Amino acid sequence: MTSTAPSPSSTVHPSPSATPRPAPPAAVIGSTTTPLTEITHQAAAHSAIFALFDTGKLAGFPLPKPTTHAKATAVVWELQSRLGAGNSLVGYLNAAPVNAVVTALLSGSTLPLLIPSLGHLGKNPADGKRLIIHLSLGVPSEADALAKPSNSLAQIEKWLSILPSDFTVVFSGSPEEIIQNTAEIHNGLLGNVLHVFDGVFASRETVRTLPATKLAEPIEPFVYTGSPSAQKVVVSTASYVSTVLASGDLPASVGRLQINLLNQTEPALIQAVLPPSVNELIVFDQVESASEGTPFLKEAVLGNLFGQAGSSRNRALKVTGITVASEEPSFKGLLFAAGLVAPPASSAGPLTKQTLLFTSQHSLLPNVLAKTFLEASPALQTKISTLTSTAPALAQTTLLVTPSSKRLPPLTSVPKDDTTDFVLVNSLVALTQTKSALRSLKQNATVLVSLPGWDKASAETNFTPADKALLRAKNVRLFVLPAPLTALKLTKEEAEIQEVGLGLVGFLLLYAGIGENGVLPDGLRAVVEGALGEDVARDLIRIGEQNLKESVVSRWEPASEEENAAEEKRAELILDGLTSFPDLTPTGSSGGHPIQGTWHIPALHLLFKESYLAPPSTDEIVSPEINKLTPSLEEKTYLATVTENRRLTPDTYDRNVFHLELSTAGTGLKYDVGEALGVHGWNDADEVLEFLEWFGIHPDTVLSLPLPSNPAKAESRTAFQLFQQHIDIFGRPPKSFYAGLVSKTDVREDARQLRFISSPEGGSLFKKLGEFETVTFFDVLKRFESVKKGLTLVDLIHLIGEIKPRHYSISSAQKFVGDSVHLLVVTVEWDSSLGKPRFGQCTRYLSGLKIGQKVTVSIKPSVMKLPPLDSQPVIMAGLGTGAAPFRAFIQHRAWQKSQGIEVGPLIYYFGARYSSQEYLYGEEIEAYLAGGLLTHAGLAFSRDTKAKVYIQHKMGEDGELLSSILTAKEEKDKAYFYLCGPTWPVPDVYEALVSSLTVNKGYGRDQAEAAVEEWKEEERYVLEVY
């Protein structure tokens, strides 16, 4: 399998004979495990019933499988969290034969539902029957799908006090403690057990498999650590707080007591483990807020010290309670709360290195790295944990490494700024769908991107402007290691192994400081071979060594004004610990989203609405209308009904300007004068069907997507609905779309063209395609048809994005028209440079609406606001559909006048081409002039006369009037000027105002320009142009 070494600038591709073959799964994962896996293994092997509650699923407990739990003997029950949830468990145990064991796996929110049933358990210890409850704290629930850091007895402390007295409560803090205590619970302890542990961090850490001798050790109820002459002792249960306290050096006079077990029937005595010099116990109680929560642990400690069992050894001990409400308390913060001062260098120092990996949810790369550091690096202390996100579908792995002489702090959910030394990106959505991946980088950190199509030439164009600015500001060293294009021809297993192998090789080359054009030393080659197998490793090491390249970010061109002005559409990364929705089958390679299913999914949603309905968020961003129509939208939306769609221009005229009225009755929609209406338009039905046929998706295929407001829930749509209502398949593609397609084709010429278009050198071709040919996403896909076989539905959704609402100035005043909203719209139509007809997506949708149809709308604030005083004059200048907000202005003043309110003058300028064709709302304007509400109108129709007349000419004719009311002395008489329409007349309108001052008020040029600038500052010169 030896081949001639390529030149340094070339990209290595494996020959068919050298295609990496999958290594056995055991070789990839190695002898590492997680606490969740071990709990499942022990419960399945040593129970009659394995009862997995719905909250246990959300906590990450897997169902036992014969392939991974060979000793599993338990019958699996899948249960729901509801009142009476414990009845089936208690009923089974009471009727079961002797020595029967039932194990329940759940989270804190389910415990209160079990407790009423637990009191009915049989009370005969001799029968050997046992109920074991593994309770994961701080994990998602159906009502709250976000993983929360676990301090964290706060969730259950008030229920512990009413737990039946025959239950032994076992607390576990570190991952090793969870595994060790679980083994003892199932093999050594007697009686009923409640096992409480951190379900967010510790239970998900990857650790070395513990030896059998360690698993056989009994659980010590209390463990004291510290000086034998300590005077004070900090006390906590084994928990996240205990791991924080163990991560630093306490003052010499302070010891630490960790409570691992509480047994009310046979209590061990705390005083038996304390040095005789101790005079004060400082007890950390974990509560949800500083003002709430009962001090459960303090009361338990007092009961142990001074209750009947402990009274015989009573000595004068002060017990001080400290409440911990912080979600992620720090070592120094805990000591400060206790009135203690940490000694110098009390926690992990600068030798600690933090690495973040972003991979697909089911990638094996985190497992391989865990094996590498946990097994192959005994001289290092390592923590590694993976948390997943469902929106987008992604896994974030945190790796902390420090020399063995140091102690590591516990892992946290969101890395803080300037804490990460190395980021490895192995999933495209980490960069395209979230803005969190690079945020925590340190100055001079290293980033490795190992993605198909991301090579040295295209790296600059693939990053968003925000990420490029961050990389430059942090002076980051950026390396790319693209997967070969032949990956498209590999099986799924082969592609996974190649992804893992290249990621591992690139990581080791950079982590060891070798870099570009380097060669892995024998020791690190052995690590890769041990993880993947010798033959597979040999080829992937060769590819990695030759393809790893550095892109010097300091040489990148600064972002263009257009790029800097682009809206940041990526979301924050929310780690919820979920990998997929229950009972849904994931499609594509991204780890579960979107999800393809059958008609059964929406049927369940309709039959069991209460279970599937997405609840409104606490800040009321989400309205009930979202649940009815568009649950994917986070902004507040309303469902309006079309009551009128009337064309204002003649049918024979080449421009279709139309008036649209929507009823808002019963929706709760309120809007102010001058605001804009966001219309959530749909794509053309025939064009959507054409696309689906081309891509090979049946229109009625059912698809489900996560809700941003609650990633644990999904909305179901057919493929037709998704691409008609959600995906902007007929929008204009950015450069990142071309870059994202590079890895989807195995045709080299197509890959070369796509890479060129997405590069800085291809700017002119990109502009030609976008501005002259006005190609759509679908056009590009058809042009490079070879990408189709490499694209999944997931890829399309991530690369294209959703249809954004288009905003139109509202042409009505609500006080004037009531439960209705009016729009003035012109259809956008043109021919591309190739002669293809093109249409504006939303105006086309609006123009085709029929009376009675429903439209999803939202409200957007605007700069077009009436003056603060009703007496102040208003000067309005609108071109074409720019007349819309001024119709609302006039209607509002008309309503005020009808209420007896005295209003100031209204001056109206309007410009269009022909008065006979485009005098929009002309009859209304003339009526307002005749009634005296409109003081003056300057109408400019440029094509009516040989000499073209525009609104600036009409303003010039009224220079004396305009200058007098704009420079009025009294506040109540100062006029406000508004311009709405296209941008091209702005300079001429500005000049007309300046001239009115120089000609009529004697201002010098500089003084007149300064006056207009002052009006801008006072918001008396307002432009809304497009």
Between strands 676-679 and 854-860, the pairing is antiparallel
CB-based contact 818:663 (threshold 8 Å): no
d(CA 983, CA 1026): 6
Do 642 and 853 touch, CB atoms closer than 8 A? yes
pLDDT range class, residue 891, cuts 50, 70, 90: very high
- Identify whether 606 is part of a domain: yes
Residues 247 and 174 in one domain: no
Residue 340: both structure tokens together:
């203690």
Average pLDDT, integer, range 387-398: 78
Q: What is the pLDDT of residue 880?
A: 93
Q: Does residue 434 belong to any structural domain of this protein?
A: yes
Residue 462's closest CA among 734, 733, 736?
736
Q: Please report whether residue 331 resides in a domain.
A: yes
CATH number for the domain that contains residue 377: 3.40.920.10
Distance between CA atoms of residues 957 and 940, nearest Å: 12
Domain membership of residue 233 (yes or no) is: yes
- Residue whose C-alpha is closest to residue 135's, from 189, 205, 46, 199: 199
The average pLDDT across 300-313 equals 69
- For residues 930-943, give the mean pLDDT: 94
Q: Residue ranges of the alpha helices (H) in 474-586?
A: 492-511, 522-532, 534-547, 561-565
Average pLDDT estimate for 429-454: 86
pLDDT of residue 900: 94
Q: Verify that 65 and 187 share a domain, yes or no.
A: yes
pLDDT digits (tens, 9 = 90+) for 695-743: 988 888 887 766 555 555 567 788 899 899 889 999 899 888 898 888 7
CATH code, 308:
3.40.50.920
pLDDT of residue 161: 80
Q: Which helix (H) or strand (E) holds 1021?
A: strand 1021-1025
**Domain edge (last residue) among 781, 800, 819:** 800
Residues 209 and 227 in one domain: no
| 793-822 residue pLDDT tens | 777 877 888 888 999 999 999 999 999 999
pLDDT digits (tens, 9 = 90+) for 629-670: 454 555 688 999 999 999 999 999 989 999 999 999 999 999
Q: 559 lies in a domain?
A: yes
Query: Of 607, 578, 604, nearest to 591 (Cα)?
Result: 578
Question: Does residue 434 share a domain with residue 404?
Answer: yes
Residue 819 belongs to a domain: no
Residues 294 and 378 both lie in one domain: no
pLDDT, average across residues 770-784: 91
Distances (CA, A) of 185 to 39, 103, 133, 149, 959: 10, 11, 10, 25, 91
Angle of helix 365-376 relative to helix 522-532, nearest 10 degrees, comes to 130
Spacing of C-alpha 716 from chain mean position: 20
**pLDDT value of residue 627:** 40
User: Would you give the DSSP letter of residue 216?
Assistant: T
Q: What are the residues facing 262 on neighbouring strands? A: 169
Same domain? For 118 and 231 the reply is: no
Residue 74 included in any domain: yes
Kindly give the residue spans of alpha helices, DSSP state H, lying in 850-950. Answer: 884-898, 915-918, 922-931
Domain count, the chain: 5
Query: In the 3-class helix/strand/coil scheme, how is 118-158 assigned residue by residue?
Result: HCCCCCCHHHCCEEEEEEEECCCCCCCCCCCCCCCHHHCHH
Identify the band that residue 434 occupies on the pLDDT scale cut at 50, 70 and 90: confident
Domain final residue, candidates 800, 823, 842: 800
Are 173 and 41 part of one and the same domain? yes
Same domain flag for 300 and 366 = no
Which domain, by its residues, includes 1000? 874-1025
For the beta sheet containing 585-586, the strands, ordered from the edge strand earlier in sequence to the opposite edge, are 585-586, 595-597, 702-707, 710-718
* Residue 464 shares a structural domain with residue 494: yes
The CATH number covering residue 963 comes to 3.40.50.80
Which of the two residues, 585 and 994, has the higher pLDDT score? Answer: 994
Q: What token pair was written down for 494?
A: 């082969």
Closest C-alpha to 461, from 898, 674, 760: 760
Whether the per-residue pLDDT at 9 is higher than 80: the answer is no
> Is the per-residue pLDDT at 550 higher than 80?
yes
How do 595-597 and 702-707 pair as beta strands?
antiparallel
Highest mean pLDDT among 313-317, 394-398, 504-508, 955-959: 955-959
User: Higher pLDDT residue, 548 or 151?
Assistant: 548
- For range 16-26, the mean pLDDT: 35
Position 301, amino acid: V
Same domain, residue pair 206 and 238:
no
Q: What is the mean pLDDT of residues 65-91?
A: 79
- The rounded distance, in Å, linking the Cα atoms of 235 and 319 is 10
What is the gyration radius of the CA atoms in the chain, in angstroms? 34
The Cα–Cα gap between 315 and 318 comes to 10
Lowest mean per-residue pLDDT among 185-199, 282-296, 574-588, 712-726: 574-588
**Residue 646: phi, psi to the nearest 5?**
-125, 125
Give the integer Cα–Cα distance in Å for 582 and 61.
13
Beta strand segments in 352-481, E:
353-359, 380-390, 393-403, 420-425, 441-449, 477-480
pLDDT confidence tier of residue 583, bands split at 50, 70 and 90: very low
Q: What is the DSSP string of 771-830?
A: IIS---HHHHHHHTGGGGGG--HHHHHHHH-BPPPEEEEB-S-HHHH-SEEEEEEE--EE
Specify the CATH number for the domain of residue 152: 3.40.50.970
Domain membership flag for residue 103: yes
Q: Which residue has the higher pLDDT, 328 or 68?
A: 328
Q: Judging by beta carbons within 10 Å of its beta carbon (0-12, 13-18, 19+), is residue 268 exposed, middle or buried?
A: middle
Of residues 133 and 735, more confidence is placed in: 133
Residue of 48, 179, 72, 57 lying closest to 106 (CA atoms):
57
Sign of CA dihedral 727, 730, 734, 735: positive
pLDDT value at 678 more than 90: yes
* pLDDT band (50, 70, 90) for residue 25: very low
Higher pLDDT, 264 or 58: 58
The percent of residues in the chain predicted with pLDDT above 90, rounded, is 39
Secondary structure (3-state) at 931: helix
CA–CA dist 286, 154 (Å, integer): 5
Residues 39 and 153 reside in one and the same domain = yes
Return d(Cα 921, Cα 308) in angstroms, integer. Answer: 90
* Residue 825 identity (one-letter amino acid): V
Verify that 604 and 490 share a domain, yes or no: no
CATH number at residue 636: 1.20.990.10
